[in-house]
Amino acid sequence: MAVLTVEGIQKSFGGVDVLRDISFSLEKGEALAIIGSSGSGKTTLLRCLNFLETPDKGVIRVGDQVIFDAEDPRSRSEQEIRQQRLHFGLVFQSFNLFPQYTVLENVTLAGRLLAKEKPDFKSRKAAVFREIEENGKALLDSVGLAAKLNAYPHQLSGGQQQRVAIARALALHPDILCFDEPTSALDPELTGEVLNVIRGLAQRNTTMVIVTHEMQFARQVADNVMFMDGGVIVEYGPPEEVIGNPKQERTRQFLERYAQQ
């Protein structure tokens, strides 16, 4: 069964349609790469999944549970949204680490705050916090930053910061991890280390939606590729089809323009 089902998502900003009737689904353990030129609506789609934008129309399901329905105002309450967005993790293009916290604190902060809401928190406080910390350390170890636990974000390179951001997103065990051009803000020599971390996640069957301009990487890592243009899905399928042998003229043009750069 699909872990994520998106049905008929529409979003417009000031009368301009940015997403028109986006539908797709994602299997558990699947990695989906979204490609498309700038302005095609990729970021907006990820932001809709993470409740940073509210779609004007459409339904989003995780498993068999409806987590968003534009027709149902109940799915807009702040408390509800806060619960539902935990199904998703989001790694931003610009990292957005919290500068005043150490690397480890960045990864554990949200988990500690959420733990406080659990009914048995008071009695198990020490154990719960220790568990969160162990989990954070293990995650940072897995992205190759075990030596930087107590560093502050400004002391890290961009690639290291983005790896912390990935660990931070993983710490809450999201069902679906979203990446919005995770290497676009990095110097070319630093993209490799971040892409390698994502590759590792794909090998461990992490369910992911990755917006990227790295075609080689998308080909290697993605189970499916979605090409977006003008707010619609123009082509969708396995990478060898969409990138290797595109059927649509618009996809071909995009890939050609891309290859020339």
Ligand X SMILES: Nc1ncnc2c1ncn2[C@@H]1O[C@H](COP(=O)(O)OP(=O)(O)O)[C@@H](O)[C@H]1O
Positions that interact with Mg ion (CB under 5 A):
43
Rg (CA), the chain: 19
Tell me which of 24, 68, 92, 254 binds another protein, using CB under 8 A.
92
Site for ligand X in 135-154 (CB under 6 A): none
At 221, is the secondary structure helix, strand, or coil?
Answer: helix
Q: Tell me phi and psi for residue 70, to 5 degrees.
A: -60, -25
Work out the number of other CB atoms within 10 angstroms of the CB of residue 230: 15
Q: Would you give the DSSP letter of residue 72?
A: -
Is position 114 an interface residue for another protein (rule: CB under 8 A)?
Answer: yes
Question: Which C-beta is closer to ligand X: that of 112 or that of 213?
Answer: 213
Is position 255 an interface residue for another protein (rule: CB under 8 A)?
Answer: no
Q: How far apart are CA 9 and CA 48, in angstroms?
A: 9
Is position 139 an interface residue for another protein (rule: CB under 8 A)?
Answer: no
Q: What is the 3-state secondary structure (H, E, C) of 133-193?
A: HHHHHHHHHHCCCHHHCCCCHHHCCHHHHHHHHHHHHHCCCCCEEEEECCCCCCCHHHHHH
Is position 98 an interface residue for ligand X (rule: CB under 6 A)?
Answer: no
Is position 258 an interface residue for ligand X (rule: CB under 6 A)?
Answer: no
Using CB distances below 5 to 8 A depending on partner kind, what does residue 52 bind out of another protein, Mg ion, ligand X, none? another protein
Tell me which of 4, 6, 18, 22 binds ligand X, using CB under 6 A.
18
Tell me which of 22, 36, 165, 207 binds ligand X, using CB under 6 A.
36
At 227, is the secondary structure helix, strand, or coil?
Answer: strand
Site for another protein in 197-226 (CB under 8 A): none
Interacting span for another protein (CB under 8 A) from 36-44, 110-118, 213-221, 227-235: 110-118
Q: How far apart are CA 7 and CA 25, in angstroms?
A: 8
- Strands 57-62 and 2-13 turn out to be antiparallel
For binding to ligand X (CB under 6 A), which residues are involved? 13, 18, 36, 38-44
For binding to another protein (CB under 8 A), which residues are involved? 50-52, 78, 82-83, 85-86, 88-90, 92, 94, 96-101, 109-110, 113-114, 152-154, 168-169, 172
